[in-house]
Amino acid sequence: MTSQFGPQLTGTELPIPSNGMGKQTNWPQLFRELWTVAGKAVRERRYSTTVSTCNECQLHTIDKHLYHAFQAMEHFEALIVGAGPAGSFAAELLARAGVKVALFDGRPEGEPKACGGGVTAKALKAWPHLLNAVGRTVDQLEMYSPSGKRLHLQLEEPFAIYSRTAFDTYLRDRARTAGAQVFAAKISARGIKRTQNSWTLREASGASNRADGSEWSGGMLVGADGAGSSVARMLAGPLPPSEMEVAFGYRAPLPESGEAPTVVAFLPAWVGYAWAFPRLDHISFGIATTQEAFEHQPLDKLLWDFMLGYYRQREDPKAKLWASRKTDRERDQRIKEKLASTAERYAARIPGLNEKTWDTRRVCGEGWALLGDAAGFADPVTGEGIYYALRSAELFAESFIGHSPLEYEERWRQDFGRDLKRASQMRRRFYGNFWGAPFTERMIEFARGHRGIKRVLGDLVAGEQGYVDLKKKLARSALRPV
Ligand SMILES: Cc1cc2nc3c(=O)[nH]c(=O)nc-3n(C[C@H](O)[C@H](O)[C@H](O)COP(=O)(O)OP(=O)(O)OC[C@H]3O[C@@H](n4cnc5c(N)ncnc54)[C@H](O)[C@@H]3O)c2cc1C
């Protein structure tokens, strides 16, 4: 007997869903999927198990309830978990190319991703549309050495600072406009199941009151769910805590004077740096350091000292950043009290892979891929990850659209893999000693007295100067006249 799925079919062909790569799903697989869905339906007592003939679809050989349950689950070519920069940009590019995409994010509304929100000039040049997101561009940067020496950098190309709520919403809206279906849903790791050529995703229990079944199926699973990615843990294995950086900070009000410089200060006697990134309506202060060097209390105190110094300098240009003078006491107390009642704390991790891990970690396989932080793509020296999130999304989308998703692995390695590996090699040296003082101290000292070195440093901030040839560039600049 010929089975027909719906009136549009003729002959013996079944309405087999596309698996995302234009191939066709086979019969046994479809049956397994139906069986999985029906099992769930029965557990939830939404369907009966009686075998019967359906008047609507004339389905005789398989229980109509299995078929209808399957119909309730929408099928996509790509399922992207996480709508940060990586996931949203990948969704947008795939949807533009006609791929049927579902994009999921479980972040509660109004809760921003913990981030400084700095986006390099290199990223702005690669994707100029980013400048349409609400943010602030910055063309001057104050840098401080660990001992407090100041270097003013006039940047040839500005970078941007965004509130992550504004930035992420902008990118997500673009994905939606391009045709991606966006779901406010947290996908639980236990709710990810694989059949032969397909995936089913299930919303974490208790995550919403969605009434429509909360399951989705698709041919390609993309993990863009950030540094703590459960998709990456499942598909590429967990990263040890030592391969994570720690970043924490406070969102605080803009200074009353209205003048709010952008500051990066290398920490005195500590690995890492503090930043002050002014946004449109507040400042993001923070410290990024390695997991190894992280100690909550002393680093939190250091950040408070930094914030205090930052506001102190807005009221008195002669005041020091790190050191408080006797005459500063009263003012400091007032600033502290105000900050204590207004500053909102945030903290999160950033991947910081070790040198060897860059060779061994795989970020894609048959039917799956990882992007951005989920893949481990962040600069191990600075913690910058937005550029790599966007670039990995682009490289993956191009590979997928070109019907060679596995080429993504080779492409990211060639594109930015070498540079990130070099950054891992340099991390210890960058925060280590050089000629009897911290390297960062020497770097700022040299840049204060040498235009060439200052320019290389500016290029580093702009994201235009990679690590692979950094040493050569610095040496060459140092040999040129001041
Ligand atoms: C404090 C701090 C400061 C930083 N400052 C900068 C900076 O100034 N410049 C810079 O370039 N980089 C910075 N970074 C790094 C940067 O934030 C990340 O590299 C970047 O956000 C990575 O983008 P992504 O899309 O891969 O992941 P994310 O931006 O983390 O997005 C992942 C998304 O997945 C969602 N998600 C997670 N789990 C699930 C789930 N189970 N189901 C559904 N959705 C899920 C999350 O809600 C989130 O929206 C900073 C990081 C930190 C922690």
Tens digits of pLDDT across the chain (482 residues): 333 222 222 222 222 333 333 334 444 444 455 445 444 444 443 433 333 444 444 444 444 444 444 545 789 999 999 999 999 999 999 999 999 999 999 998 888 999 999 999 999 999 999 999 999 999 999 999 999 999 999 999 999 999 999 999 999 999 999 999 999 999 988 999 998 889 999 987 655 555 555 789 999 999 999 999 999 999 999 899 999 999 999 999 999 988 999 999 999 988 999 999 999 999 999 999 998 889 999 999 999 999 999 999 999 989 999 988 888 999 999 999 999 999 999 999 999 999 999 999 999 999 999 999 999 999 999 999 999 999 999 999 999 999 999 999 999 999 999 999 999 998 877 887 777 778 889 889 989 989 888 988 888 888 888 888 887 777 777 666 65
Report the separation in Å between the CA atom of 224 and the middle of ligand 1, taken as the mean of its atom positions: 9
Phi, psi (degrees; rounded to nearest 5) at 35? -65, -40
| Residues 6+ positions from 392 with CB-CB distance below 8 Å | 86, 363, 371, 372, 375, 377, 412
Evaluate: CB of 384 within 6 angstroms of ligand 1: yes
Evaluate: CB of 364 within 6 angstroms of ligand 1: no
User: Do the Cβ atoms of 404 and 22 come closer than 8 Å?
Assistant: no
For residue 459, count other CB atoms closer than 10 A to its CB.
19
Q: What gap in Å lies between CA 419 and CA 417, rounded to an integer?
A: 5
User: Do the Cβ atoms of 194 and 367 come closer than 8 Å?
Assistant: yes
- Roughly what angle, to the nearest 10 degrees, separates helices 164-178 and 85-96? 20
Helices (H) and strands (E) in the chain, counts: 16, 18
Q: What gap in Å lies between CA 80 and CA 16, rounded to an integer?
A: 22
User: Do the Cβ atoms of 25 and 17 come closer than 8 Å?
Assistant: yes
Report the separation in Å between the CA atom of 374 and the middle of ligand 1, taken as the mean of its atom positions: 9
Evaluate: CB of 386 within 6 angstroms of ligand 1: yes
| 405 Rama class: left (phi>0) / alpha (psi -120 to 50) / beta | alpha
Task: For 423-436, give one letter per residue: b (16+ CB within 10 A) or e.
Answer: bbebbeebbeeeee
* Nearest protein Cα to ligand 1, atom 29: 84
Evaluate: CB of 247 within 6 angstroms of ligand 1: yes
| Residues 6+ positions from 128 with CB-CB distance below 8 Å | none
For residue 323, count other CB atoms closer than 10 A to its CB.
12
pLDDT of res. 210: 57
432: three-class secondary structure by DSSP: coil
Expressed in percent and rounded to 5, the helix, strand and coil fractions of the chain are 40, 20, 40
| Residues 6+ positions from 193 with CB-CB distance below 8 Å | 36, 199, 200, 202
Q: What gap in Å lies between CA 293 and CA 405, rounded to an integer?
A: 38
Mutation to probe ligand 1, out of 199, 208, 373, 416 (largest number of atoms < 8 A from CB): 373
Mutation to probe ligand 1, out of 88, 113, 382, 384 (largest number of atoms < 8 A from CB): 113
Report the separation in Å between the CA atom of 26 and the middle of ligand 1, taken as the mean of its atom positions: 37
| Residues 6+ positions from 292 with CB-CB distance below 8 Å | 242, 271
- Roughly what angle, to the nearest 10 degrees, separates helices 451-462 and 439-449? 120
Query: What are the C-alpha distances in Å from 22 to residues 38, 84, 399, 403?
Result: 26, 27, 14, 9
Give the CA count within 13 Å in the CB-facing half-sphere of 179. 12
Q: What gap in Å lies between CA 293 and CA 374, rounded to an integer?
A: 23
Report the separation in Å between the CA atom of 385 and the middle of ligand 1, taken as the mean of its atom positions: 8
329: three-class secondary structure by DSSP: helix
Evaluate: CB of 20 within 6 angstroms of ligand 1: no
* Nearest protein Cα to ligand 1, atom 21: 386
Q: What gap in Å lies between CA 228 and CA 205, rounded to an integer?
A: 19
Report the nearest atom of ligand 1 relative to the CA of 247: 1
* Nearest protein Cα to ligand 1, atom 47: 107
Q: What gap in Å lies between CA 80 and CA 105, rounded to an integer?
A: 9
